[in-house]
Amino acid sequence: MAKARTPSYLHFKADKYHWKPDVDYRQHPERYHVGKGEQGVLICEPYKSEILPHWRFKTEAVAVESSEHIYALFLAYLGKGEFVGADMARKFLQMGFTRARRYANYKGGRKYDAENDYQQLARGTGDPEKARAAAVFYDKWKQAEAVKAYANQKKAWKQTIG
């Protein structure tokens, strides 16, 4: 019998994490790493504080407004030459998709049962409205990734910084 997979956050090591809460990434963009997926999204200041207040996915309509605002921030950061801000906005769009999907798949958004050795809970118990919200964020996330200037900057950043 295979061992149950536990959530990665149970073994999180802050000292090994690239992103640090005490760094101003606008002043020190060279310390920013693109990383995988949404890594660092809730840490990197001042971008986190600029984007997070607009990040919502309660309903499809709320997700439309939220994703459009975050996408506008994404374009504004690109226009100002702030790749880190643009990448953070892209990560918030991606996180809008993944979190809304989590709530669409699992009642209350909980995937693991902490009181039962972190066994995975049953899928298909979530909110169908969140699936529609997830689709909205997915489309905006992919739209952001398709912006050629962003894709070129991301590739160059990963080659030179990480």
Structure tokens at 13: 């090591």
pLDDT digits (tens, 9 = 90+) for 69-127: 999 999 999 999 999 999 999 999 999 999 998 878 777 666 666 666 676 656 666 67
Burial 50-69 (b: 16+ CB within 10 A, else e): bbeebbbbebbeebbebbeb
pLDDT digits (tens, 9 = 90+) for 5-40: 666 655 656 666 577 788 999 999 999 989 888 888
Measuring CA to CA, which residue among 84, 65, 86 is closest to residue 75?
Answer: 86
Do 86 and 151 meet the contact criterion of CB atoms below 8 Å apart?
no
Distance between CA 97 and CA 125 in Å, rounded? 18
